[in-house]
Amino acid sequence: MFAQQDPNLIQLNSAGQLKHFLTTEGLSRELLTEILDTADSFVDMSAQQVKKVPLLRGKTVVNLFFEASTRTASTFELAAKRLSADVLNLNIKTSSTSKGETLKDTLMTMEAMHSDMFVVRHSDSGAAHYIASQVTPHVAVINAGDGRHAHPTQAMLDMLTIRQHKGDFEPLKVAIVGDILHSRVARSQIHALRTLGAAEIRVIAPTTLLPRHIESLGVKVYTDMNQGLKDVDVVMMLRLQKERMQSALLPSESEFYRLYGLTEEKLKLTHPDSIVMHPGPINRGVEIETSVADGPKSLILKQVTNGIAVRMAVMSMSMSGQMTEHQAQQGGV
């Protein structure tokens, strides 16, 4: 576990622009909206014959994934390549880190290769903040998920998906359902939804999968799914993170599905125009019924598509913020 500092002392430059993207917590509504607007400009690129822009041409992006990932790693790589960056995927299992090299030494080695951006996924909370505090000033750091703490790009691709289908956040009732305790996604979603002005944020889970004092984040807590889903506009399901559970927090997966799995029957309790989301990977028959995951209300695959656009946005904005800061410092010399 790494000690965490005030993120905005690290992730914003002197002009208030992103230079790292570590967390949604504490960022202004204006900045989150800028991320969404920038991502919107990239959404249609996949339909174009040439799927590249030169915004990161000549820059080197290093994907430092200390934890397994498929969707996040592949969409970050694709996003960097669509921005015309050179991409290095560091295989941690075969790197010197697995042979005892310290994280700081690994960073210094990557910096010596003239890297410009690190995309970091780590099992320890605060790892991305630590890395951002250690790198040389010109290197941008993007948090691709750290422990139970934050997954800001996942939250922002979720926000983009909601905005595309619902427009304004202010009338919305949003329910986040499942393993809240172990979910970095839920924390980042809650901070983003609050900042963007959602009318009501609900978390629905058994008491064993609820963090202490979760109410302090400005959410309403439900342990009964039927009550929690009533009239909500957005249902955000979460994966059961069994790899992070250190004790028997659930009687069984079948019991969890009976009480907290999203079925066609439970979905009828939501608003008639509700949408269904899930960050993936999906455990069908555990968190969600197949007919719901593949049904007309599901935006799960749209989330994946939007992930590329959002990651392009935060990478380009962070690099721009780094360059602005560098130019300001040079001008002041």
251 annotated ligand binder: no
* CB distance 106 to 130 below 8 Å: no
152 annotated ligand binder: no
311 annotated ligand binder: no
4 annotated ligand binder: no
154 annotated ligand binder: yes
72 annotated ligand binder: yes
212 annotated ligand binder: no
151 annotated ligand binder: yes
Spell 46-56 as b/e; 16+ CB within 10 A means b: eeeeeeebebb
* CB distance 299 to 165 below 8 Å: yes
**29 Cβ neighbours under 8 A, 6+ residues apart:** 195, 196, 197
* CB distance 150 to 184 below 8 Å: yes
- Strand order through the sheet with 173-177: 220-222, 200-204, 173-177, 234-237, 275-277
* CB distance 116 to 138 below 8 Å: yes
Which positions make up the binding site for L-aspartate? Answer: 99, 184, 239
Which positions make up the binding site for carbamoyl phosphate? Answer: 71-72, 121, 151, 154, 280-281
Which positions make up the binding site? Answer: 71-72, 99, 121, 151, 154, 184, 239, 280-281
